[in-house]
A and B are shown apart, each in its own frame.
Chain A
Amino acid sequence: MTTAPEAAAPADGLLLPVPDEDGAPFWEYAARGELRVQACTDCGRLRFPPRPCCPHCRSFDSEWRRMSGRGRIWSYVRPHPPLLPAYAAQAPYNVILVELADAPHIRLAGNLVTSADAPLDSVDPARLRIGARVHVVFTELGGMSVPRWLLEKS
């Protein structure tokens, strides 16, 4: 990422991802609207969070494999204050963990929303359910693109 994280803090004050060297490609692909996960070039296994070396075959060669963007809610919480001000303003909101259809052991944290740019509390809490099918969309946040999740039409 080219912008300094603090300088790029968006107007609504939500925290921006602060990528490390290993994680940077995730956010670069996200900026193109692609959900990609690091995979070992040698043994093919997916790993998350990204890291320099494959824990299975110890290869240092990796690639970023595109995911379907579909998954299921594995768990969720609804944070209430005290919270950082920008989050308190939308509380109680939801945070979900999505197990990816392509790699169920990888569970991405995110927010279930009614549309990509909708607030973190936009979904009726009654619709939060473990096992619910969701798919990824991306929203612009302070110059970065971050994943959000929508319920699949049932």
Chain B
Amino acid sequence: MAATLKDATAIVGIGQTAFARHLPQSEKELACRAILAALADAGIDPGEVDAFSSYTMEETDEVEVAKAIGAGDVTFFSKIGYGGGGSCATVGHLAAAVATGQATVGVAWRSRKRGSGPRPWKNTAVQLPTPGQWTRPFGLLRPADEIGMLARRYMHEYGATRDHLFNVAMACRNRANENPTAMMYERPLTREMYMTSRMISDPLCLFDNCLETDGALACVIVSAERARDCRHKPVYVHSAAQGLPSQHHGMVNYWNDDPLSGPAWTAARHLWKQADFGPQDVDVAQIYDAFTPLIPLSLEGYGFCGRGEGAAFTEGGALELGGRLPINTGGGGLSEAYVHGFNLINEGVKQLRGVSTAQVPDATTCLVTAGEGVPTSAILLRS
């Protein structure tokens, strides 16, 4: 039995539905379609699935999914908390389960009707007393408001500007313009559009915010040994980590010594400690982008630059194809689809298979991150 997760498992199948503002199917149906597509991609019969992992703010559960797709007896299932912070942890949990013999074929998935479904922040009945009592009455209602607060402080402390945030939005949009399945495929962005767009929570404008999407994705994880017999080149799970920093408060991380170093820093320390390579060896990254300021913060947290240098890192086309670190090559949550970051996982797999619509030549290593600003997770993939 493996004492480490390093390269012990691989992602061997990926699947997705269409992405749109509105899809007629239910979340459950979308989930089943994405999962079956991922299993077909892997060449594995659904009856062999014995592990599931998902993350919260997901309506479909493993009971419904397992019986619909005709899974076998399931011996491992987990659901990770904190919405988008849990995306990569699904892969980490399944890798751990498969590597330790708890299961043999794991499926992680995300199905979401965000475009046509309700927005979580509109729910006043479920006003969580902690920490909502300290923020919501004052009109800090939406994730954009909560992150906007950290973004303003970040801009103030480090001289970051809206142009830096635009660099992020632009890189994602450029990649989406190359990806026919992206929601923003035929919708180019210009600096003028960005600078004159309406504010959502000043300093964040419309284009600093992710899309609202209906859609589903899934991936399949098996042991490295079995992966060699699957249809596609295995994409190994090299390292996986979760991060809940000491004295962290979630999205409203306002009550500790250093609100601008978030869960990414914690996850990153563990991720790199287990890895055979470092940030300088990452060919391409898929960085959770519910909001543009999460990119400079994550670039710092995951060690691509020093503290306070994340905004400057985005200059000179660094995030574009051919730049220092191409990111979100399918368009990300800002421009491909916002499905709580699962599209970033599948895009990472596409890059290492060499089949991305914005392929980084000879990419062999990819960092994928989950939502920064909440208890998070990340994985390193290698081919």
Instruction: Given A18-B133, A19-B129, A108-B134, verify A75-B152 contact (CB < 8 Å).
Output: yes
Residues of B with C-beta under 8 A to A18: 127-129, 132-133
Pick from B125, B133, B142, B247: contact of A79, CB under 8 Å:
B142
Q: Are A15 and B124 in contact (CB under 8 A)?
A: yes
Pick from B134, B135, B202: contact of A80, CB under 8 Å:
B202
Return B169 CB to nearest CB of chain A, in Å. 18
Does B199 sit at the interface, judged by CB under 8 A? yes
Q: Are A48 and B201 in contact (CB under 8 A)?
A: no
Residue among A14, A55, A84 having the largest count of chain B Cβ atoms under 10 Å: A84
Residues of B with C-beta under 8 A to A17: 133-134, 137
Return A70 CB to nearest CB of chain B, in Å. 18
Residues of B with C-beta under 8 A to A27: 133
Task: Find residues 241-258 in chain B having any chain A CB closer than 8 Å to their own CB.
Answer: 247, 249, 252, 254-257
Q: Tell me how many residue pairs across A and B have CB atoms closer than 8 Å.
A: 118
Task: Find residues 111-154 in chain A having any chain B CB closer than 8 Å to their own CB.
Answer: 111, 120, 130, 141, 146
Q: Are B153 and A120 in contact (CB under 8 A)?
A: no
Residue among B127, B138, B199, B252 having the largest count of chain A Cβ atoms under 10 Å: B138
Residues of A with C-beta under 8 A to B216: none
Interface flags, B186-210, vs A, CB<8A=1, else 0: 0000000000001111111000000
Q: Are A83 and B129 in contact (CB under 8 A)?
A: no
CA distance A5 to B204 in the complex (A): 31
Total count of chain B residues near the partner, CB < 8 A: 42
Instruction: Given A49-B131, A109-B135, A109-B254, verify A83-B141 contact (CB < 8 Å).
Output: yes
Please name the residue on chain B nearest to A84 by beta carbon: B141
Pick from B136, B138, B203, B249: contact of A49, CB under 8 Å:
B249
Q: Are A111 and B142 in contact (CB under 8 A)?
A: no
Q: Are A78 and B133 in contact (CB under 8 A)?
A: no
Interface flags, B112-130, vs A, CB<8A=1, else 0: 0000000000101101111
CA distance A92 to B24 in the complex (A): 35
Pick from B127, B140, B145, B201: contact of A5, CB under 8 Å:
B127
Please name the residue on chain A nearest to B148 by beta carbon: A77
Pick from A79, A92, A141: contact of B137, CB under 8 Å:
A141
Residues of A with C-beta under 8 A to B257: 105
Residues of A with C-beta under 8 A to B136: 15
Task: Find residues 66-93 in chain A having any chain B CB closer than 8 Å to their own CB.
Answer: 74-80, 83-84, 87, 90, 92-93
Does B139 sit at the interface, judged by CB under 8 A? yes
Known: A79-B202, A92-B199, A120-B138. 14 other contacts (CB 8 A): A6-B125, A15-B141, A18-B129, A74-B153, A77-B145, A77-B152, A79-B200, A80-B202, A95-B140, A97-B254, A106-B255, A107-B254, A109-B252, A141-B137
**7 chain-A/chain-B pairs, Cβ below 8 angstroms:** A18-B133, A22-B130, A77-B145, A83-B141, A90-B139, A107-B254, A111-B139
